[in-house]
Structure 1
Amino acid sequence: MNDITKPSDIRLVVLDMAGTTVADGGLVEEAFAAAARALGEDPAPMLGHVRATMGESKISVFRHLLGDEQRARRANAAFEEAYGELVAAGRIAPLPGAAEAVRTLRERGRTVVLATGFARTTQDAILDALGWQDLADLTLCPADAGGRGRPYPDLVLTALLRTGAADHVRQVAVAGDTSYDMLSGVRAGAGIVAGVLTGAHDRDRLTAHGATHVLPSVAELPEVVVAATGVVT
């Protein structure tokens, strides 16, 4: 393997939120069920697909499930409203070590971006609830990347373009808890694609979809980044 294909000098780290840095205790499924009921649908037959596509842009999931753009948009709005209410009720918390990992990476010279499949209003509600408005260098949602979320590479590539933190996609590390996070990182060409075991998908699924590392939690990520690339000064 020549030097250009090595994950050398990681400078940008793109982190998922729910299940990776944020513990939501199954709120995604709860909000999906509320949205389905708001449209007169039985959520039970939908939840298998919801679990399988954790990490994907929520509007894309509703488009697949409902097959109608207007109903998908209504369902997505109902989902975001329901999730926002659960956040406001204090039903989320930071995963242990997540905020510290972000701070450590930034202190060691890395740029950190928090990315999500939620809409901007929901992402902001989560950040506000956790006091994380200034935790990362940048936060991104699918609308910031032209509307396409995971498993497309757009969020990762938008992070690279917006921050200008890296000269090459191999200088990017991506971390998430779902197979779609892994696919997004692989398709973007990231040098490190780390799966974490604090969310939706297990080791086998993360590995099958391209994880270069599988970690107990995001708290271990700074050590992996430094071990692979050395300290940026």
Structure 2
Amino acid sequence: MTPTSTPTSTLTSTEDIRLVVLDMAGTTVADGGLVEQAFTAAARHLGADPDRMIDYVRATMGESKISVFRHLFGEEARAQEANRAFEAAYAELVDAGRVEALPGARETIEELQGRGRTVVLTTGFARATQDAILAALGWQDLVPLTLCPADAGGRGRPCPDMVLTAFLRTRAADGVGQIAVVGDTSYDMLSGVRAGAGLVAGVLTGAHDADALRAAGATRVLDSVADLPGALA
């Protein structure tokens, strides 16, 4: 692959999909602008102007948050401070009841698992934030594995590490071609493509539109995660 080539995933029969790696915020969990609100709080905590940074935050939705802050603030200590402020602000929003599942998300997960497929939930948030979201939704025992970047060696999307960690830990698939990666951002799509997933599906309930998802390698674009069981039928 040349540096300027467009990545593509390896297509497979949807009947062969054994492992489904689902993003959380924007895909199975309603975002409602909470990421931007928490970022705004973090930027102001560091005395920065959030309006000058918000375009980058939107473009990199899906990437691990500490990576975003490293790009924006440079110095590691400031990036870590911004990340802590972000996580604290997001936790307050979760505690205030601002987090809810997207329509059909839980039912989709239960249906996929009922058909014998393994579902893993992934996020670009830190583990504490991911656990708070799962607790708020009552999803602690919904799937056998949840992953954040730290669980996969520290590299978040667009690296394939979380997808490959799900593959290795669950042993649900015989090869990466039996993996479906589903998310709402370009970085979700890139992580699936780089992992060699057989199906890379974008959903239109989150950060990026259909053109952006396809440009990043989506092989399917769905209105929402609720359409996934039908796409895999």
The alpha-carbon deviation at position 6 of structure 1 amounts to 4.6
The alpha-carbon deviation at position 44 of structure 1 amounts to 0.7
TM-score, normalised relative to structure 2: 0.94
The alpha-carbon deviation at position 132 of structure 1 amounts to 0.5
1: CA distance, partners of 2:162 / 2:34: 23
The corresponding residue for 1:84 is 91
The corresponding residue for 1:7 is 12
Please list, as runs of the form range in 1=range in 2, the aligned pairs for 1:153-232 lying within 5 A after superposition. 153-226=160-233
Structure 2: tracts of 5 or more residues without a match: 1-9
* Deviation digits for residues 78-129 of structure 1 (CA, Å, limit 9, x no counterpart): 1001000001101111000000000000000000000000000000000000
Out of 72, 76, 79, the residue aligned to residue 79 of structure 2 is: 72
Q: How many residues align?
A: 222
Out of 64, 70, 80, the residue aligned to residue 63 of structure 1 is: 70
1: CA distance, partners of 2:52 / 2:226: 35
TM-score, normalised relative to structure 1: 0.94
2: CA distance, partners of 1:63 / 1:7: 37
Give yes or no for the alignment of 1:112 onto 2:119. yes
The 4+ residue runs of structure 1 with deviation greater than 3 A are none
Out of 127, 144, 150, the residue aligned to residue 143 of structure 1 is: 150
Give yes or no for the alignment of 1:93 onto 2:100. yes
Amino acid in structure 2 at the alignment position of 1:134: D
2: CA distance, partners of 1:215 / 1:6: 16
1: CA distance, partners of 2:89 / 2:216: 30
Q: Percent identity?
A: 75
What RMSD over aligned residues (CA atoms) do the two structures have, in Å? 0.8
Amino acid in structure 1 at the alignment position of 2:112: L
Amino acid in structure 1 at the alignment position of 2:163: V
